[in-house]
Chains A and B, each alone.
Chain A
Amino acid sequence: MLTLQFVPHRDIEHMDSVKRINKLLRLVKEDKIILLEGRLKSHEETELISKTMEEIDNKFKGIELSTINPENTDTKNIWQKIRKVLINLVMGDRSGFTIIGPASIIKEIKKDPNKIQLYTEEISKR
């Protein structure tokens, strides 16, 4: 059985980067696929990768990660962009979604700008 857990942005907005990453990684290590509202900051994404590498062992193989942000492709107006940047500064980046899951379950994530496909490992193989 696959568990998909939705994490609303309000659940992590009060946390610092370390706590956010620890929370997400803890859920992934419980074999859950996370659907996070919004996206992490770019330095948080690299921190998540570093932290994942520290945790890899014979059982935990790492994560699959993908973000989708349709607004980025449509926002051409400079004022809309400025508005978005200001909102992101105050509220955090709530636009789009981030999917994070254990590599032992998600074999591959394929993505084009507006679509994400998850390819999962056969349960019997795990």
Chain B
Amino acid sequence: MTGIFKKLLSKFFKNIFKKKKKVKLGLYGPPNGGKTTLANKICKDWLGEEMGTVSNISHETREIQIKEEITIKSKGKELTFNLVDTPGIATKIDYEEFIKEGLKEKEAKTRAKEATKGVIDSIKWLDDMDVVIVVLDATKDPYTQVNITIIGNLEARDIPVLLVANKIDLKKADIKKVQSAFPQYEVIGISAKFGNNLDDFYEALFRVAG
């Protein structure tokens, strides 16, 4: 009897430990903010391999992508998580925009169809996240309803959020504007493409998820 009790107790503590270790870290944001570029950078830094393809044409990521068991280390601390790269969330998708960006009509229509499904999946997955990095393009207007809706939903679900202002390598980037749009959050300016300020990013990630 005592043996069974001990086993149950040990399983219980193991489960707690396991759950705590396997944090689901989601990358969310509007299309073309640089979520997959950041996911690739994180994977390259800590696993030595990339996660997904990136493109200048919007909605390149149209399916949820997961990379399991990424362990990052900083100042003697360790954090292990499953990284979830999500399709960009948008309120409109027009296949004609993809044609303007160089796709043929059939490809454009398929991409639009897949992109709409991707948005629905991203929203469905919100409930499963333990921590979310919201990746915004620092050269664009941060006061869009998509940004406000994503962050509002994370707030309502009590999910810890790290706000990343990406593309700081570009002249038009304005981190202060992102900060003033979301004053309740710490905003880290990075360039996922060139790896600028990634150390600060990883430290902030420990503060939010650690």
B contact residues, total (Cβ < 8 Å): 27
Measured between alpha carbons, how far is A53 from B89 in the docked complex, in Å? 10
Determine if B120 and A50 form an interchain contact, defined as CB atoms under 8 angstroms apart.
yes
Q: Taking the complex as formed, is B198 at the interface, i.e. its CB lies under 8 A from any CB of chain A?
A: no
Measured between alpha carbons, how far is A86 from B141 in the docked complex, in Å? 33
* Stretch from A1-9, A75-83, A103-111 at the B interface: A103-111
Q: Indicate which residue in B116, B146, B149, B152 contacts A53 across the interface (CB closer than 8 Å).
A: B116
> C-beta contact mask, B133-158 vs A, less than 8 Å → 1, else 0?
00000000101111011001101100
Which size bracket describes the interface of A in this complex?
A: 20 to 34
When distances are taken between beta carbons in the complex, the residues of chain A under 8 Å from B146 are 49
Q: Taking the complex as formed, is B81 at the interface, i.e. its CB lies under 8 A from any CB of chain A?
A: no
Measured between alpha carbons, how far is A122 from B25 in the docked complex, in Å? 42
When distances are taken between beta carbons in the complex, the residues of chain A under 8 Å from B103 are none
When distances are taken between beta carbons in the complex, the residues of chain A under 8 Å from B144 are 109, 111
* Stretch from A11-19, A29-37, A64-72 at the B interface: A64-72
- Beyond A43-B153, A65-B149, 12 additional contacts (C-beta under 8 Å) are A46-B123, A46-B153, A49-B146, A53-B93, A53-B120, A54-B116, A56-B112, A61-B92, A63-B91, A64-B91, A65-B91, A109-B145
Which residues of chain A have a CB within 8 Å of any CB of chain B?
41-43, 45-46, 49-50, 52-54, 56, 58, 61-67, 103, 109-113
